[in-house]
Amino acid sequence: MTSIPPSAGPQVGPPARQRRHTLYFLDEIRSFAPVHLDTEVDMTRVLAHRAAARADGTRYSLVSYVLLAAGRTLARHPEANAAVRGRLRPRVARYPSVAGKLVLDRRLDGQRVVLATVVPRLEQAELATVQDQIDQYRGEDASERPEFGPVRALHKLHPLLGLLAYRASVRPLRRRAERIGTFAVSSLGHAPVDGFHSVGGTTVTIGVGRVADRVVAREGRPAVAPVLRLNLTFDHRVIDGAEAAEVLGGIKEALEEYPAYEAVGAGSAVAAR
């Protein structure tokens, strides 16, 4: 980033071209009706599993566990594994498979931007599979990744045409799951952030903060445990608070009981229309 001399006036200009897709996204989610929930998760078992894997030479990121836990949980809640479109005549699509969008902090042509990848079929995926997909995007400028070709193509269009092209890509309910997932995960756990709420453009968005040692009650006595603040934002147009609370509770249970938590299929979720 270029520094501005103290004696200079403000530099005024359009946003960086590499961030146009973020502006299109923010325009698209204006109709979202967000409600926020949060809970605390004892990460003792997850960290123990992670440490054992690392001792064997395998590295797992915490967001991989969260993606897997949320995928298993949403498979049991097809009403939340859904999307809505329209205002006067809204249509709801319920998806037969769970796809998690992971928000990424990356560089694109030297500019720091927000990008995303979608991890499909989380109702049946394994932890190693999830981690493999995440690892594909580490340590490389996104300008070199073919997966982000459509984003780079958007940036080359006039902003109005870019906005229209973005809408055409993400609005159809049949394509929504593969383009932006059926739920989203955004993490700031690498920073001193305990918790935050985000809107990922999906009915359910999980916000992940840092894991920190906190005092908890165990068998009526205080103890210290690694605790994660887990935040959930849901679109009230699609589900209500009770359903969202069950989803959040299911993710908490999956993480606290890992790896004993068993996979549950997506069942008879209604196909997208």
Residue that the structure tokens 């990356």 belong to: 106
Q: What one-character DSSP code corresponds to residue 59? A: -
Q: Which residues touch 89 (CB under 8 Å, ≥6 apart)?
A: none
Q: Beta strands 111-119 and 91-94: pairing type?
A: unpaired
Instruction: Specify the pTM.
Output: 0.89
Q: For position 269, what pLDDT does the model report?
A: 41
Q: Which residues touch 238 (CB under 8 Å, ≥6 apart)?
A: 79, 80, 82, 83, 84, 92, 203
Contact indicator for 184, 200 with CB cutoff of 8 Å: yes
From first to last of its 273 residues, the chain has per-residue pLDDT tens of 566 666 667 888 888 999 999 999 999 999 999 999 999 999 999 999 999 999 999 999 999 999 999 999 999 999 999 999 988 899 999 999 999 999 998 888 888 999 999 999 999 999 999 999 999 887 667 887 888 889 999 999 999 999 999 999 999 999 999 999 999 999 998 889 998 999 999 999 999 999 999 988 888 889 899 999 999 999 999 999 999 999 999 999 999 999 876 444 444 344 444
Whole-angstrom distance, CA of residue 232 vs CA of residue 39: 9
Q: For position 2, what pLDDT does the model report?
A: 61
Q: For position 4, what pLDDT does the model report?
A: 66
